[in-house]
Structure 1
Amino acid sequence: MIDDLTRALLGRLGGSDAAPGSLAGVVVLDITRVVAGPYCSMILADLGATVIKVENPDDPDYTRTFPPLLRGGDEDAEPLSGFFAQFNRNKLGITLNLKSPEAAEVLDRLVQRADVLVENFRPGTMERLGHGYERLRRINPRLVYAALSGFGQTGPYRLRPAYDNSAQATGGLWSMNGEPDRPPTRVGTIIGDLAASLYGVIGVLAALRHAEQTGEGQLVDISQQDSVLTLTENAVVSYTVDGEIARPLGNEHPFVRPYSLFPCADGFVFFGGYTDKFWRLSCDTFGTSADWDDHPELHTMAGRFDAEVYREKVHPMIVRWFAHRTKAELEQLAGDLVPLSAVKDIGEVVDDPQIAARGMIVEREYPGHGTLRTFGSPVKLERTPPHTAGLAPGAGQHTAAVLEDLLGYSAAEVEALRAGGAV
């Protein structure tokens, strides 16, 4: 059953009518900014945790100013960053100056009540502020402390400043992405941040289970570089086994063919009919009987995988199949038989019927700003579905509520902390 504290805090988010999530009753302190940390804690919030986002009153999360900006009818209201709102939904927002002695006492009391703390500062920052893991674990031995950083808490790079591009560069992904014989190209999204977020969630959930069984918390140390390395598919084993260095291949797979991007009448499609079964179906679906009957050398994967055979025979055949058909026509022909997908821009994706059927675009009204549509949750749980309709908090919006309801401060004490600059 959801506890009264969680019910009260969720009620302040406007989400008390939602079914309690799998993490109902888990309290998370979110001392993060930008994406890697906020996205990690947002996923925990979607799954039912009570997430308290802690920001500096004089220097809140600077993604609050990132575009796109949602402007409503209230000309006096500050515009709302869709970027910030997307990664901070379902959270309570408080402000706390971690350099203030008075704020340190508040944080200690929060830590006593928390199950998880997530931070994404450079290693050593929380220690310099007096809030490092070794001290906080003495306050709460069951605390799960998740630290997300560019290079992790150990190793010779640990103190280097890092962004997503740093992880793509040092994790190997950048070197192998792009077109052959051209400079490498970064992956077109912040994959280093996002991968660290996802591994952070996995680490937190594993550590929470251990804490629930033993009463013992632990440090969850997540490196963006480590996270990116695990996304390089077969690059590591190709090097350690055969000494091969992965290079940019464009839209080609290292050895599987056909498994690539192909042009069509109104854009591009991905086609991956590389198995023997799919190749036979593809010849029947897109081509003619002659495409199969006249080319027995293409009946096996080994034959189709050969680079020269693919270049001289397979690729031209597929180009001929697709050239005069639209994306929609090809998808309709492929149906449930052959792996073919239209390459869709984000507008087409947002309006895609499969995305709609999966509830992957969620809509929420922000008073004074209008309606914001963001991505939903890919985690589908039968009994405890994620709650994705919560709002992102204003900076310090719930400071008084959290300090009074969660920690037992009086209204006068909160005002004194505010007057002193601690909150």
Structure 2
Amino acid sequence: MADRETPGDAARSDRRPLDGIVVLDITRVVAGPFCAMLLADLGASVIKVEHPDDPDYARGFPPMVGGGDAGESAFFTQFNRNKRGISVNLKSPDGKELLKQLVRKADVLVENFRPGTMDKLGLGYDELRRCNPRLVYTAISGFGRTGPNSSRPAFDNTGQAVGGLWSMNGYADRPPVRVGTIIGDLAASLYATIGTLAALRTAEKTGEGQVVDVSQQDSILTLTENAVVRYTTRGEVASPLGNDHPFVRPYGQFPCKDGYVFFGGYTDKFWRLTCEMFGEPEVADDPEIDTMDKRFDPDVAERRVKPLLERWFSAYGKAELEAMAGDRVPLSAIKTIPEVVEDPHVAARNMIVEVPVGGETVRMVGSPIKLSMTGEIPLGAAPAPGQHTRSVLAELLGLDDEAIRRLAGSGAI
């Protein structure tokens, strides 16, 4: 069968949507760097601004590649590829002035300091908008720029804790468990990217920039699915359910011969197809489990449905079950990271990409954003601290070597 053509394939372009947009990235670790990297992947010229004596400490996060003094962090690269790097001391008078000059040439500034920090430096939004009224000022923090908790320090776990997600995750007979990734940082970065793009669109139309205010707590709260409306309408408090869903059954993890699968065949259509798939079509007409509503009952699900599925699945391995289900039934292997990295479908989606790190090539996560009119995103290395200071200052501000030497001598860069 011929490959399915993607709309716009014939007119694909190497030009990317954010070509010409200049972004100043003064963030650290992940909540912020990931947002700026997504903008870079979409074509923006992202300039990572770091203190000359105190660069982003995520540069020391494992795994390190290259060995010795030349070792570089693959973790850091995964959130900072495709950027240029400059060194600016935002505490020095010359450094403050230099940032203002850069802001005059920029479209976006992304920061993830605690609210008030930039104002104390004399570089808050009100000051920077005087330099550039069109500036989109994207601020990511634990609790946002308003509200009684805005000045509190926060990490990813803070967002999971105060956003409600931590209280819902785990098993009913055990203490709650954090989600096994930095989902607070990542979710905040994703919302910040969406907000930045919306604000850029407004700035294009009106000539006015604005603050994009994103908090980890707010971002996590939006990921709690039905927990809020269950509480506000019925007074139900979401609690850990393990791999179960609060009302949809069967819908969860089931053991098989060589691991586990996710099975979500809870509708009458999928249930009947599943019974046929395992050679027992008559089960679909069993009067105790023949409708979706009956299978939703917790007692029926535990007593009748779960044992039936475990009996069926236990005779097969993950790959066999996926092949049997094919395009008919929602059944997927619960894959380990090695299995995902080597997954042919993931490869077809170009989701594992090769990026230079520490003199080597490292496979890491690619971009999930696929645009029909835009070619594949070229991926460059993350910058070394201050690697592009001279070229950026010369290109954007027109500074000559003597001016750059003076800035270095004053401790501004």
Query: Normalised by the size of structure 2, how large is the TM-score?
Result: 0.95
Q: Does 1:320 align with 2:315?
A: no
1:57 equivalent to 2:52? Answer yes
In structure 1, which of residues 368, 373, 377 is the aligned counterpart of residue 367 of structure 2? 377
CA contact (8 A) 1:46 1:386 kept: no
The residue that corresponds to 1:258 in the other structure is 250
In 2, the alpha carbon distance for the partners of 1:255 and 1:365 equals 46
**How do residues 332-411 of structure 1 correspond to structure 2 at under 5 angstroms?**
332-366=323-357, 369-385=359-375, 387-411=377-401
Per-residue deviation, 1:191: 0.5
Aligned-residue offset at 1:401: 0.3
1:233 corresponds, among 225, 228, 237, to 225
Secondary structure of the structure 1 residue equivalent to 2:201: helix
Label 1:173 to 1:388 Cα distance change in 2 as closer, same or farther (>3 A).
Answer: farther
Question: C-alpha displacement at 1:417, in angstroms?
Answer: 1.1
List runs of 5+ in structure 1 lacking aligned partners: 1-17
Which residue in 2 is equivalent to 1:6?
A: none
Is contact 1:208-1:217 (8 Å) kept?
A: yes
Question: Which one is further off, 51-60 or 356-365?
Answer: 356-365
Aligned residue type for 1:209: R
User: Which residue of structure 2 aligns with residue 119 of structure 1?
Assistant: 111
Q: Is the 8 A contact 1:377 1:386 kept in 2?
A: no
Distance 1:46 1:382, change over 3 A: same
Question: Aligned partner of 2:110: which letter?
Answer: V
* 2:290 aligned partner: 299
Hey, what's the Cα distance between the residues in 1 that align with 2:294 and 2:86?
62
1:178 corresponds, among 148, 158, 170, to 170
Q: What are the Cα deviations for residues 45-101 of structure 1, in whole angstroms up to 9, with x where unaligned?
A: 0000000000000000000000000116xx5x4201000000000001000000011
Letter in 1 for 2:330: P
Shift of 1:284: 0.5
**What SS is found at the alignment partner of 2:288?**
helix
- 1:146 aligns to what SS in structure 2? strand
Give the Cα–Cα distance (whole angstroms) in 2 for the partners of residues 373 and 334 of structure 1.
30
Alignment check: 8 A CA contact 1:376 1:388 kept: no
Question: Aligned equivalents of 1:326 and 1:270: distance in 2?
Answer: 13
> Do the aligned partners of 1:268 and 1:342 also contact (CA within 8 Å) in 2?
yes
Residues 265 and 259 (structure 1), Cα distance of their counterparts in 2 relative to 1, 3 Å cut: same
Aligned equivalents of 1:292, 1:247: Cα separation in 2: 32
Tell me the TM-score normalized by structure 1: 0.93
1:198 to 168, 190, 210: 190
Asked if 1 retains the 8 angstrom alpha-carbon contact of 2:243 and 2:253, the reply is: yes
Partners of 2:225 and 2:376 in 1: CA distance: 30
Shift of 1:415: 1.6
Aligned amino acid, residue 377 of structure 1: S
Letter in 2 for 1:326: G
- Asked if the contact 1:379–1:386 (Cα under 8 Å) also holds between the matched residues in 2, the reply is no
Deviation at 1:391, TM superposition (A): 1.1
CA contact (8 A) 2:49 2:87 kept: yes
Give the unaligned 5+ runs of structure 2: 1-12
Instruction: Pick from 148, 155, 176 the counterpart of residue 140 of structure 2.
Output: 148
Match among 265, 285, 298 for residue 273 of structure 1: 265
Q: Which amino acid aligns with 1:389?
A: L
Q: Aligned partners of 1:21 and 1:194: how far apart in 2?
A: 23
CA contact (8 A) 1:364 1:372 kept: yes
Tell me: CA distance 1:253–1:381, structure 2 relative to 1, closer, same or farther (3 Å).
same
- One of 208, 211, 216 as aligned partner of 1:216: 208
Query: Which has the higher mean CA deviation after the structures are superposed, 301-310 or 411-420?
Result: 411-420
1:331 is matched with: 322
Residue equivalent to 1:21: 16
Partner of 1:10: none
Following superposition of structure 1 onto structure 2, how do residues 21-170 of structure 1 map, counting pairs within 5 Å? 21-71=16-66, 77-170=69-162
> In the comparison of the two structures, how many residue pairs are matched?
401
Instruction: Write the letter of the residue equivalent to 1:398.
Output: H
The C-alpha deviation readout for 1:133-162, integer Å capped at 9, x for no partner, is 011011100100000000000001101000
The whole-number CA distance in structure 1 between the counterparts of 2:378 and 2:235 is 46
Give the Cα separation in 2 of the matches to 1:325 and 1:296. 27
Aligned-residue identity in percent: 64
- Return the letter of the residue paired with 1:27: V
The amino acid that maps onto 1:127 is D
CA RMSD of aligned residues (A): 1.1
Q: In the TM superposition, what is the alpha-carbon distance from 1:296 to its structure 2 partner?
A: 2.6
Query: Which residue of structure 2 aligns with residue 189 of structure 1?
Result: 181
Partners of 1:109 and 1:193 in 2: CA distance: 30
